[in-house]
A and B are shown apart, each in its own frame.
Chain A
Amino acid sequence: MTRRVAGRAVDKHVTDEEAAGRRSRAAGRRSRAAGPDRRRRPGRAAAPGRGGPSPLSHRRTRSRGGRRHGSYPYALYAPAATVYLVIFLVPTVMAFYFSLTRWTLFDSTFVGLENFRDFLSEQNLRVGFQNTIVYAVVTSGLKVVLGMALGVLLTSSLRSRGFLRSVVFFPVLVSTVAVGITFSMLLKPDTGLVDRALGLVGVDGRDWLGDATTALLSVALVDVWKGVGLATVIYIAGIVSIPGSYYEAVMVDGGTAWHGFRHVTLPLSWPATYSVIVLSFIGGLRTFDLIWTMTRGGPGFTSDTISSIIYKQYQAGFYGLSTAGNVLLFLVVTALVVPLTYVLGKRQVAS
């Protein structure tokens, strides 16, 4: 869950900055103003002739500024920065070099773009790209639709909504490996519970995970099953914060519940939609656990994603190729997520 949860917070950069701004503005002290404030000070000092602040008051300001800085020492950054730089940033930067080499962990030979060429020309590897994107689009799309539907349902006057919220949310906390194993049992051909249930209503089941046409989508659906609870609670929080008077206004104008949903809930839960899309899209692009426990990229290579290919190449000892896959994954994630947050963020401001 780390990654998914972590990813979720991306949009918050904007929102919490905003919230902080709003809050401190109300308190009469804008946190942002600290910057310009400091910049203004030397200017004031440079114009003492204009009957400006006396040298004494000037000194007082300076010393206060100095003390203020001393109270937020960079030393507090040090532990986090050290771990983050050494364990995350250094390998990330090194990856760009190692992806251009044939590499055994002990020595590396520079081979130029050969690894990337292999990655993009081999059918087995290329399918990973397509699958990764399909997976991310399907899971984030379904999480938005189902999360919103469940969010609306569970903020309505249902008596059992507390129970239902818990039931829907619990899978979020269960380990992905456990979910993967359980569902691969449920989806077994013929003997699995899903096929048996379908048999009862007269539908022929199939080998969901063993069939190239359904393997990836089956895993994606299990991902939705596990993750929709998070989308739902995000929507619930968004919907609960909409003032009830808006719905009353719709009712007064003779609108139906549908109008209320279409013209109040849908536009005003946009921040929730934004969070859910960005989070599940990032999570979807990086997906590994579920694919690996349910299909291992099979049958053949038909449900491989970029992450599972990275692992396979690593296991096979092609460290350079594996790292090239990693670099491609950065590029794909950055190329898709940055514009996505930009476009969605813009719309958020507009609405």
Chain B
Amino acid sequence: MRTRTLKRLGAETVALTVATVVFLIPFAFILLNAVKNEKEATDLGFGWPTEWRIVQNLTEVVQARDYVLLRAYVNSTILTVASVTLIVLFAAMAAFVLQRRQDRMSSAASFLVLTGLIIPPAVVPTIWLLQELGLFKTLPGLTLVEVAYGLPYAVLLFRAFIAAIPREFDEAAMIDGCGGVRLFFQVIFPLLRPVTITVILTSSVAVFNDFVNPLYFLPGDDNATVQVTLYNFQSQYSTQWNLLFMDIVLITIPPLLMFVFFNNKIVNGMTDKALTG
């Protein structure tokens, strides 16, 4: 019995050590270097900082290049809020009809949803199209792109959830004379709260962290998003690693907050749906 306990303790220690080294050291490395002075950070070491320049580095990063980081933060926030709102609304509406109707249109829609999940988007033709529409290099244009690419997964999540809502709800509402669009918004949509939260969380992490689409569809400094700004800082601060890492810290705060408050929701949302539908 005692050897078993010892063995278990040993296994636990090994697991903890390995996980800490592999998964936490990179984050500790980011934090330590974000508060060092320029000279120490150049060393890229894991040593303790001799002076803690938290506030100075923070203000320097924020003020850099005429407050580009603040503008990027504003842009990213607008982009995320707008895209996620539209994804939730559009996907829930489409998923409702998709799940309730069983006709050719619905099979076509299901096929398109799967296509959207598998097929990589055609970048340059999209740029061409946005240019024709006058939306290239604009925030609304990028928002539409994020919505289009985010819809298929959200539709799947919503459809799986709606499948569990009995049709008796619909019928009761219909008898009360409430059908169509009103049925959806007044009866069904409020019932979708749990899955709506999951969709909000997963898509906002995805949109906020997106790098490729802003890179293609929203080039230029004026309306850069945080990820693109971080990427540009990399070449710009090739001597000031401390500021680069401070930037990483600032950009990691939103997902970190989400993680702290909604960890279980995110994990459950992702895995439940992935496995059981």
Contacts and interface: CB of A to CB of B under 8 A. Distances in A.
Decide if the interface of chain B is mainly helix, strand, loop or mixed: helix
Given A173-B258, A181-B244, A181-B248, A80 B93 contact: yes
Interface residues of B, number: 119
Given A237-B274, A322-B124, 9 more contacts: A10-B117, A71-B170, A94-B125, A181-B234, A185-B44, A192-B44, A196-B45, A233-B271, A330-B120
Nearest 9 interchain pairs by C-beta: A16-B277, A20-B163, A237-B271, A95-B122, A2-B206, A87-B148, A91-B125, A80-B94, A16-B160
A98 interface: yes
Given A95-B122, A177-B230, A333-B120, A84 B163 contact: no
A81 B113 CA distance: 10
A204 B245 CA distance: 27
B127 interface: yes
A35 interface: yes
A187 B73 CA distance: 29
Given A166-B263, A167-B24, A2 B119 contact: no
Contacts of B227: 175, 177
Contacts of B216: 311, 314
B274 A6 contact: no
A175 B230 contact: yes
A334 B89 contact: no
Contacts, number: 341
B5 to A, nearest CB: 11
Contact of B125 (A5, A72, A98): A98
B120 A307 contact: yes
21 contacts: A2-B149, A2-B150, A7-B118, A9-B273, A19-B160, A34-B102, A35-B103, A80-B91, A86-B129, A87-B129, A87-B144, A94-B122, A98-B128, A105-B127, A159-B12, A167-B23, A167-B24, A234-B270, A272-B275, A310-B123, A333-B118
A70 B173 CA distance: 13
Contacts of A94: 122, 125, 128-129
Given A16-B156, A168-B23, A31 B234 contact: no
Contact of B206 (A1, A80, A196, A334): A1
A83 B160 contact: no
A95 B255 CA distance: 35
B205 interface: yes
B116 interface: yes
A87 to B, nearest CB: 4
